[in-house]
Amino acid sequence: MSKLKPWIEAARLRTLPLAFSCIILGNFLAAANDSFNGWILVLSLLTTLFFQVLSNLANDYGDGVKGTDNEDRIGPARAVQSGVITATSMKKGVVLFSALSILSGTGLSILSTHNLSIYHTLFFTVLGILATIAAIKYTVGKGAYGYAGLGDVFVLIFFGWVGVVGSYYLQANTLDWNVFLPATSVGFLSMGVLNLNNMRDMESDKKAGKNTLALRLGKQGSKIYHAILLIGALDLTYFYGKMHPNEGLQYLFAITLIPIVLNLKKVFRNTEPAKLDPLLKQLAITTLLFSLLTGLGQVL
């Protein structure tokens, strides 16, 4: 167990609720339109688990070898940084979970599109490969997009549009453009989590040359950006509810207005980066709750 523990910690399983949010919402929305297959949901969650662990391991490796994770970092110590896992071993872990992600994603594509043309299967298979590459390239290599302030864009694409709309399509085998509204909402909330992470690490990122969007915007600009993301998430799902009324239940997600307002209030009052860490975790759980309530509001 002593050898396994560092890997479990490096996998950062606490990030899974945020990763699962988009899959859960996409499947709920499909079920609301009488399209649901339990095996597709299970394989979607399994694939997402592999992608998220891959992303966390690659992030640990990339920031570790570049020196971004160091004694100045405020968050939890990383495996490569602390030396509990060597860079070589972590690289092997990245390769392993890359393979698992592609295999699981390919299986999901085949299962979900078996009634469609081969081109649909190929499209989602390629999409899975691109997601694998994106998970690695966030911090790994010279062209790491996380170091160029593009992490927020990729979070919107994969945690929002690909996660929700893709999950919906794999269940329903059809595209409802309105689904992009709640998909963008989840993407915005996930971007909010990333923004808090980057606000917390602004000083250490600046020293390491990691030019995140938060660093580019500055402390006050990042707070305003955070408010735009969270308020925008609520507004977009409200508009989706107007288009898909369900006896008022479509606004069930409004319950999350309370934790979202509290999150914003604490962010704007914050003067100590270390105190942003619990807000990051709170927003991740709020995003999961938001997805569950939005989905239930359409299904019930």
Is 212 part of a structural domain of the chain?
yes
What range does the domain containing 243 cover? 27-299
> Which ranges in the chain belong to alpha helices (H)?
5-11, 16-32, 38-66, 79-82, 87-112, 118-137, 151-155, 166-172, 180-200, 202-208, 213-243, 257-269, 277-299
Q: CA-CA distance, 171 to 164, in Å (whole number)? A: 11
Would you say residue 198 lies in a domain?
Answer: yes
Q: Residue 261: inside a domain, yes or no?
A: yes
Is the CA virtual torsion 271, 274, 278, 283 positive or negative? Answer: positive
Give the chain's domain count: 1
**4 domain-assigned:** no
Provide the token pair at 245. 């009324």
Q: Is 60 part of any domain?
A: yes
φ/ψ of residue 246, rounded to 5? -150, 60
The dihedral built from the CA positions of residue 173, 176, 177 and 183, taken in this order, carries a sign that is: negative
The whole-number pLDDT of residue 65 equals 84
Residue 2 lies in a domain: no
Contact at 8 Å (CB) between 266 and 279? Answer: yes
Letter string b/e over residues 127-154, b meaning 16 or more CB atoms within 10 A of that residue's CB: ebeebbebbbbbbbeeebebbebbbbeb
The answer to whether 69 and 12 are in contact (CB under 8 A) is no
How much is the pTM? Answer: 0.94
* pLDDT tens for the 300 residues of the chain, in order: 467 888 999 999 888 999 999 999 999 999 999 999 999 999 999 999 999 999 999 998 988 887 766 666 566 677 888 889 999 999 999 999 999 999 999 999 999 999 999 999 999 999 999 999 999 998 887 778 888 888 999 999 999 999 999 999 999 999 999 999 999 999 999 999 999 999 999 988 888 888 999 999 999 999 999 999 999 999 999 999 999 999 999 999 999 999 999 999 999 999 999 999 999 999 999 999 999 999 999 999
